[in-house]
Chains A and B, each alone.
Chain A
């Protein structure tokens, strides 16, 4: 009976998973681009960039994700029309940028200063040295913590349901309402789906990490 219900609702669960994955990809991409920019500004930029990055990090790491979602959806939509999906991408993406900038800043700072000096000494410009020497090494320091960030943000996508994004968790809520009950089993299946997506994502990231791990940058054990 419940299995029949689950089977009938499988397309909705799959669609919810798909929406969650889209949200995850968009927020991680926004967080990556902005987080890297903030980190570079904080390490190499003038003081306004350092101060701005610091303030941004504090704010977005200091406010609960649900509050950010509500702020962006109800607060910002008074001024610009935002779909709930877009509001979720912004709220969670900016928050992820704060976390990712912290990861990248630490990774950049753990590249020894002599690497930059050696690059400048052969005639590379500052930006060229950052691109060809510092960032490839920083990536190797960042990939481990970034894998954790991936997992956190996958789980955080479920919070988008409070502003009506029809992602996996909200789909599950609909199924429970429509079928009066079965909470345990429906959410059990949903938990399993999150778990599987997380494992698959981690497996991919571990492979990236293993490819980056050259002697001198040995990978930490997974």
Chain B
């Protein structure tokens, strides 16, 4: 919402296939600083694959990813991933570590912050997502919504330049999605650069600068939420939006 025109992430013509199934067939997009972009599209269309190819958790077959102009390469990968946080659909908190240690680990091991600095920062981020009082719980002792908020705190503590969210609310019971969406809206309004795969219409309408609609491994349409929701140009987009906006009001 506080978008500038300084480019943070540039994705150029990504291709990815699994066996003889071409999952990504040339996807390009850019994110400017402070921009929140929401990716929508039906299941199996390659949205998760796109996010995983962006930080090379699955290396793309072709195409480039640039962070602030620097291309991700095998040699620079570990150093650059710390700037690209990833929030997973099923949270993936480190199960054997307390919440606070989940938020401290990357700061200590990757950013080499002192224990005191990492602890202070971890508590700030847990405060921000409303989990300061759960710092010394283990992930298994938290609800799904709390686990996802903790994983967002873990991401934030790394000072990422961009955060990738892969359907952060779709593993949650409906009554728990609100608390996660609230945190994400707050991040968007504070100017965090984020690429969010999500079908949360409420989030998309109010927090997204742009909606990207994917189908069959390509981007079929993109534009500001007001335009895209009001008069989608493509039949696929229209049909898809009808389904999710219907679910929303149901």
A positions within 8 Å CB-CB of B: 112, 114-115, 117-125, 128, 132-133, 136-137, 140, 214-217
Contact = CB atoms under 8 A, between A and B. Distances in A.
Nearest to B58: A117
Interface string B52-91: 0001010000000000000000000011111011101010
B21 interface: no
B96 A137 contact: yes
Contacts of A115: 92, 94-95
Nearest to A125: B78
Interface residues of B, number: 29
Contacts of A217: 95-96
Contacts of B105: 122, 132
A114 B109 contact: no
A125 B77 CA distance: 9
B88 A117 contact: yes
A114 B94 CA distance: 9
Contacts of A112: 92
Contact of A140 (B57, B92, B96, B141): B96
4 nearest A-B pairs in the assembled complex, by CB-CB distance = A216-B140, A123-B82, A118-B92, A114-B92
B139 interface: yes
Contact of B96 (A120, A125, A214): A214
Q: Which of A119, A140, A215 lies at the interface centre, i.e. has the most chain B CB atoms within 10 A of its CB? A: A215
B122 interface: no
Interface in B83-116: 84-86, 88, 90, 92-96, 105-106, 109-110
B158 interface: yes
B203 interface: no
Contacts of B80: 123
Contacts of A137: 95-96
Contacts of A117: 57, 86, 88, 92
Nearest to A133: B94
Contacts of B84: 121
B94 A119 contact: yes
Contacts of B55: 121
A118 B78 contact: no
25 contacts: A112-B92, A115-B95, A117-B57, A120-B81, A121-B55, A121-B81, A122-B81, A122-B105, A122-B154, A122-B158, A123-B78, A123-B79, A123-B80, A123-B82, A124-B78, A132-B109, A137-B95, A215-B137, A215-B138, A215-B140, A215-B141, A216-B95, A216-B96, A216-B139, A217-B95
